[in-house]
């Protein structure tokens, strides 16, 4: 049985962007802190700070779920940066809490699917 690649989903922002309600919702197969530090280049005057990060083998599905939910709830997003959404700080933490619960449920369901497939083999 081959194991799935582990990646991370994350929420990050700069101080001024966070005050205006903008957060970046992304994923990476590398260290998420390293990934957001790449946004800390000369053209960006502020450093990105990690708000939330979680490693999971379902990082692609989880990030898509996060984007879909934010768009479904009509949170504005920067069309040129499809991962940057406008959301209040309280909604960010509410999202993180819900995300944590949904991630746990999603991963449990995926593990059950995998077990079921292997039992059939």
In sequence order, the β-bridge partners of residue 7 are 56
pLDDT digits (tens, 9 = 90+) for 72-109: 777 676 666 667 778 776 777 777 677 777 777 877 88
Place of tokens 């502020």: 46
Give whole-number Cα distances, 76 to 32, 39, 96, 107, in Å: 24, 21, 18, 28
> Given this model, what pLDDT does residue 2 score?
43
Phi first, then psi, for residue 26 (nearest 5°) are -140, -175
Closest CA to 110 of 55, 58, 53, 54: 58
Average pLDDT over residues 2-6: 72
Report pTM: 0.68
The strands making up 84-86's β-sheet, listed across from edge to edge, are 49-56, 7-13, 22-28, 84-86
How far does CA 27 lie from the centroid of its chain?
6
> Given this model, what pLDDT does residue 7 score?
92
1 pLDDT band (50/70/90 cuts)? very low
**E runs forming strands in the chain:** 7-13, 22-28, 49-56, 84-86
């Amino acid at each position: 049985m081959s194991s799935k690649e582990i990646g991370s989903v994350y929420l990050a922002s700069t101080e001024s962007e966070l005050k205006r309600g903008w957060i970046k919702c992304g994923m990476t197969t590398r260290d998420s802190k390293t990934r957001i530090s790449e946004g800390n280049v000369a053209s960006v005057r502020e450093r990105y700070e990690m708000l939330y990060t979680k490693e999971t083998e379902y990082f692609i599905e989880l990030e898509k779920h996060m984007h879909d939910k934010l768009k479904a709830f009509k949170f504005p997003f920067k069309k040129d940066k499809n991962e940057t959404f406008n959301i209040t700080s309280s909604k960010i933490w509410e999202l993180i809490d819900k995300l944590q619960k949904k991630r746990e449920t999603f991963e449990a369901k995926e593990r059950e699917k995998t077990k079921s497939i292997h039992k059939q083999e």
